[in-house]
Amino acid sequence: MRPKAKNKKFKILLLQLHGIDLLLTRNTPLNMPFAAGYLKAMLYKEGLLDEVDVEILDLNKTPLPGNARLVDLIVSRSPDLLGLTLFSFNSIQSLYIAENVKRRLPGLKVIVGGPEVTAETSYILNNPVVDIGCIGQGEVTFVQIVKDIMKNKSGYADIKGIFYKRSDRVNITPSREPIRELDSVPSPYIEGFINLNDYITAFIETYRGCYFKCTYCSYNKPYGYFSANRVQEEIEFLKQNGIKKIYFIDSNFILSPVFYDACERIIRLNTHNDLEFYADISVEHLDDKKADLLKACNFKGVEAGLQTINPATLKNIGRPLLNAEKFKKGIRLLTERKISCAVSVMIGLPQDTLKDIRKTAGFLRESKVGSALAQLLQVFPGTRIRREAKKYGIKYQRKPPYLMIESPYISKGEIKKAVGLYRNASVKQCNVGIFFSYSFCNFPLSLENKGRKKTSGETGLLDSGINKVIIELNEHLPLVKLGEKISRLAQQPFTIWFKASYLQKYLTPIKSFLSHIKKDNPFLVWNVVLETDGVVSFDIIEEIKKSVKAKENLSSDGCFLLEPLSVYIVCEKNREKGSSSLFKKLAPDAKFYCPLNISAADCWENKLDDILKEKGYAGVLMDFDKTLELSFIIRTLKTAIKRTRAQNKTMLFRNIAVYCLFSLIDQGQKNDNTSLIKPAPSRIIYINKDFNISSECLPDADAFLDLVEFQVKSLRALRKI
């Protein structure tokens, strides 16, 4: 440990990283540091906060720091102890961060906990950066660890439920009994240890563990529960503090020991349905009384795990056999009460063939299930199915996310076909990539002057993190030097937009620029935009992919690994012979968007139709002349949305105000309710050919108030049109 100044508190920093999959699949990641809140609450209960300064590094706010910036942020806090909550989706990245922090703070103690920490997770047990790991529930264990560290104890053998290092040897202590009376753990919400201002959705648990014994899960026994009174107190507190949605994270809410009592209390405190509720349930355990209670509480959606209808497979994985009639009745009860239900199925289970998976899909259609979610089997450490993988011939990834690869029952090709049963591309909706919205100026209002702005030189690059960089390329631009500066400032997700008439000419400096940033940010999520008047070759795409390719691809969408790179090409259709075949060749690796500038005099509808007919384009990048009236923009967007959606294509915008207007119109076309858009406070750098920062904008509160006023004005205009 580092020597401490007199009267200085022991500093603890707790961190739960996002998974890259969240950044790739959601506009606003939800990553509430629930476990960290419990740990701080227990230290508070034990009276340790007078001696210990505990900070929960809340990363739910966007933009999120990149790897290098996060390391710098943690080092600047100078903690004595870094606590990491590890899941399969964030563990490798978390350990990378810890390694780089500890290199600069050599006296730092690193403690890990969470579902990924087991006695069988060897890459964590043997990682030299980890000092201690909590196996199982961590609230009581963590308090004991902190007390022993503060007493400068050299060993931790008397603490149950941990592993620790001594003389480079990993020691695992006997397991700890789970907490039965969970009310003994203070609420992190009520004690104020989670900042609810950053969330509209919160989590609540009424019990821990699970009544099922699925072999692919290690959470397969009930541990303890919270009282209905505690549940009520938390819900009341969350409601008073602006939370609108609550998700019960129990393994099966309707089997909770306090289900009936909790529901009756919710009904009394949610008389005006100000709160919406969501939960995981088992449909077969649903009856009329339980369904009525869910409706009366204002449950809007539930998720149910079916996995398969194959009796042999269900027996192999330790799940009860399906009662088809009860399942169908449960779906009907939910449908009648207008509670949406998403049913999850698992691909790759023992003895479940493609034929069996098709039968399961047919059963879901027959049961009139509204939504089905497919997930590939994950072979987690510490589970029975991992121990039996060899018996069933299951091949799987040895590192997170542990996806199964193939088995004697289902081949790689059949896995893709099985996933395709649940992912129908024809129902994919148009969406908007807000990372394109880099302009806070021009039509329809100027926000740039309301934010912090610099107009020349490169000193502005060093002020804070950067989300988006737009660069007009020329041969004199010092891209390598620029990449070195930006590498420690990049934030998640990171967009780099290159503009040039002929991109091939700048390929070498582009690669160097990207490589510098990637070196310090190996887990960065990239959006690379190439805007050009010329032709984009296959070689350019391949070289860019190599420059930013992650060392390990560790994220998935539940079925397939996700590539943390999206390439977008903005260009006019090339009329030369062979351009269509080039589009087709590049389509798997990049998305093409055609720029469309609209003025009142334009025959824009014909131009849009021509773009949408071109199979090579994913959509259109739309700009509006700044002199246009708001009413004209609204009518244009309404028409354009219908046409692009009919062709299953997307619309993107440079101007953030136009993006917000588009979103308001899009919401109104889908339902009667519209809500104002709150874009992430992105920092955007525009570097012109003379290496001047012609636009650097970090919008302040006044700028976003202007944006809200514009949206209110737009809503009024929408009602008139």
- Same structural domain for residues 458 and 329? no
Structural tokens at position 519: 């070196």
pLDDT for residue 414: 95
Give the contacts of 418 (CB within 8 A, at least 6 positions apart).
347, 354, 357, 374, 410
Domain membership of residue 673 (yes or no) is no
Domain membership of residue 4 (yes or no) is no
Domain membership of residue 77 (yes or no) is yes
pLDDT for residue 494: 86
The percentage of residues in the chain with a pLDDT greater than 90, rounded to a whole number, is 50
CATH of the domain at 499: 3.20.20
- Same structural domain for residues 70 and 125? yes
**Confidence band of 585 (pLDDT split at 50, 70, 90):** low
**How much is the average pLDDT of 369-374?**
90
- Same structural domain for residues 460 and 414? no
pLDDT for residue 412: 93
- Same structural domain for residues 556 and 647? yes
Whether 246 shows a pLDDT value over 50: the answer reads: yes
CATH of the domain at 381: 3.20.20.70
pLDDT for residue 347: 95
pLDDT for residue 569: 87
- Same structural domain for residues 533 and 407? no
Whether 103 shows a pLDDT value over 90: the answer reads: yes
Whether 649 shows a pLDDT value over 80: the answer reads: yes
pLDDT for residue 7: 65
- Same structural domain for residues 471 and 557? yes
CA dihedral 70, 73, 78, 79 (to 10 degrees): -50
Domain membership of residue 662 (yes or no) is no
pLDDT for residue 148: 94
Closest among 215, 217, 314, 211 to 254, alpha carbons compared: 211
Tell me: cis bond preceding 681? Omega within 30 of 0 counts. no
**Confidence band of 459 (pLDDT split at 50, 70, 90):** very low
Helix (H) or strand (E) holding 463: none
pTM here?
A: 0.86
Closest among 51, 67, 54 to 18, alpha carbons compared: 67
- Same structural domain for residues 647 and 536? yes
Per mean pLDDT, which range of 11-25, 183-197, 211-225, 260-274 is the poorest? 11-25
**How much is the average pLDDT of 527-547?**
85
User: Measured between alpha carbons, how far is 686 from 693 in angstroms, rounded to an integer?
Assistant: 6
pLDDT for residue 518: 92
**Confidence band of 317 (pLDDT split at 50, 70, 90):** very high
Domain membership of residue 32 (yes or no) is yes
Closest among 507, 492, 578, 498 to 539, alpha carbons compared: 507
Structural tokens at position 401: 């996310």
- Same structural domain for residues 97 and 236? no
Domain membership of residue 291 (yes or no) is yes
The whole-chain average pLDDT of the chain stands at: 83
| DSSP letter assigned to residue 378 | B
pLDDT for residue 549: 80
**How much is the average pLDDT of 521-545?**
85
- The count of domains in the chain is 3
- Same structural domain for residues 456 and 418? no
**Confidence band of 671 (pLDDT split at 50, 70, 90):** low
> Domain residues for 89?
10-172
Per mean pLDDT, which range of 27-31, 64-68, 654-658 is the poorest? 27-31
Q: What is the CA radius of gyration of the chain?
A: 27
Domain membership of residue 195 (yes or no) is no
pLDDT for residue 575: 45
pLDDT for residue 447: 34
Whether 166 shows a pLDDT value over 90: the answer reads: no
User: What phi and psi values does residue 152 have, to the nearest 5 degrees?
Assistant: 60, 35
- Same structural domain for residues 408 and 510? no
Using DSSP, state whether 526 is helix, strand or coil.
strand
Domain membership of residue 707 (yes or no) is no
- Same structural domain for residues 353 and 496? no
CATH of the domain at 138: 3.40.50.2300
**pLDDT digits over 672-714, tens only?**
555 555 555 555 565 655 555 444 444 555 555 566 666 677 6
**pLDDT digits over 64-88, tens only?**
788 999 999 999 999 999 999 999 9
**How much is the average pLDDT of 177-181?**
93
Give the contacts of 340 (CB within 8 A, at least 6 positions apart).
300, 301, 302, 334, 370, 371
**How much is the average pLDDT of 428-446?**
33
- Same structural domain for residues 132 and 242? no
Whether 334 shows a pLDDT value over 60: the answer reads: yes
User: Measured between alpha carbons, how far is 287 from 68 in angstroms, rounded to an integer?
Assistant: 52
